[in-house]
Structure 1
Amino acid sequence: MLSGIVLAVIAGAFVSLQTIFNNKVNERTGSWATTTLVLGTGFLASLLGSLIFAGKNTFTLQHMQPWYWFSGMIGVGVVFCLVQGVKLLGPTYAISIVLTAQLGTALLWDSLGWLGLEKIPFTFTKLIGVLVIIGGILIFKFGNGRTKDQQESISHENNNSHLRS
């Protein structure tokens, strides 16, 4: 279990780091070029790693449901939407929303047992957990009590008062 937790923490850090990199690429190229670059370099890295570690078993695909083949297309949507979300909301706010949506969606799919997942009973404590996270995001975003314009106005007033002194 500990190794699973460590790997999940590393994955979360990688998602945040990749989002920052993607945002910087997007500033220079655009969303579709960023998506192509991210998924193209990811394909090459995963192919090379797979060939090194799995060898010829890389292409042995047995008993796979046809809809699993669409995973890469879902990845296009993930990268594109995340790049746009970061551009519009900033990295921290966008990632917190993405992770909350991911948790809520996982709760739904686990509870319903869709796509061959083991059905895990839905409980209100799980729902409350997701709602607490959403509340945390709202506090993070709106909890400082001042908008950016109000903060700039206060800063401007403070600068003017120093000039008068």
Structure 2
Amino acid sequence: MKTLKYLLMSLVIMTGLMGFSSCGDDITRVTEEYYTGAEATNYNFVVGNSQNKWVWNAVDGRYECFFELNELSSDIYNYGSMVGGVFVNPGLDNEWLEMLPYNIIFPQNGTDPSYSVRISCAFTPGEVAFFFQPSDMKRNDNILAEYEFRITLMLDQFNVPK
């Protein structure tokens, strides 16, 4: 009888100890602070209109246009991401945003090789540049057009060294 009494008492104590130690508030606690990820901001630029003209660079064989972008900080440049795109067929039903660099190929007649244009961008802190480079790297103002670009700057504050 005494053995049964000790056995039951031990069972009750063991069950109680297991109940208190198995689930703590570290598992069931609700956190009110959420990590939402990187902050992304879009900026649109138009090149080739009367305000922002393409400028020929004879050394590099391309047209260029530079914009001040103060939001492109050294933190974003060093620890974030910069993405560029160009709108194709802007304002039409079949508009889309093409990532840069974007190559446009113009097929020629049977014997002439194809002609292409490469549209790209480059970044430095505080500035973004857009480039329009013909495949023959020769100046031809007749092929210039107006382009709308989108730049997205992204920065995850948790990746910036303190």
TM-score range, shorter-chain basis?
under 0.3
Q: What TM-score do the two structures reach when normalised by structure 2?
A: 0.25
Which protein is bigger by CA-based radius of gyration? Answer: 2
Q: What TM-score do the two structures reach when normalised by structure 1?
A: 0.24
Hey, which of these two has a bigger chunk of helix by percent? 1
Hey, which of these two has a bigger chunk of strand by percent? 2
